[in-house]
């Protein structure tokens, strides 16, 4: 008996990938990680910035910034 791989569609880009226990494919996970790091680094150097400043300076879409805020990812900053 061989290993059965479960395939899944990425929630963001809809590409098919081997289920890794997450809703995003590896490429989208990497993109999300990069966007978070851009925002984190910007906020480190520019505390008190508003969402529009963050968007303009990092070029991360407002939708993604709002998602990170809803998820509470910036509570440590």
pLDDT, tens only, 20-44:
788 999 999 999 999 999 999 999 9
Q: Left, alpha or beta for 50 (phi > 0: left; psi -120 to 50: alpha)?
A: beta
Q: What domain count does the chain have?
A: 1
10 part of a folded domain: no
Name the band, by pLDDT with cuts 50, 70 and 90, for residue 73. confident
73, part of any domain: yes
Q: Per the domain annotation, does 13 fall within a domain?
A: no
3-state class of 48 per DSSP? coil
With cut-offs at 50, 70 and 90, classify the pLDDT of residue 3. low
pTM, two decimal places: 0.81
Domain range for 38? 23-77
């Amino acid at each position: 008996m061989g290993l059965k791989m479960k395939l899944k569609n990425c929630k963001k880009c809809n590409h098919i990938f081997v289920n890794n226990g997450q809703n995003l494919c590896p490429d989208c996970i990497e993109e999300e990680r990069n966007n978070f790091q851009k925002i984190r680094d910007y906020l480190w150097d520019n505390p008190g910035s508003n969402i529009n400043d963050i968007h303009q300076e990092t070029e991360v879409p407002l939708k993604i910034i709002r998602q990170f805020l809803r998820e509470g990812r910036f509570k440590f900053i």
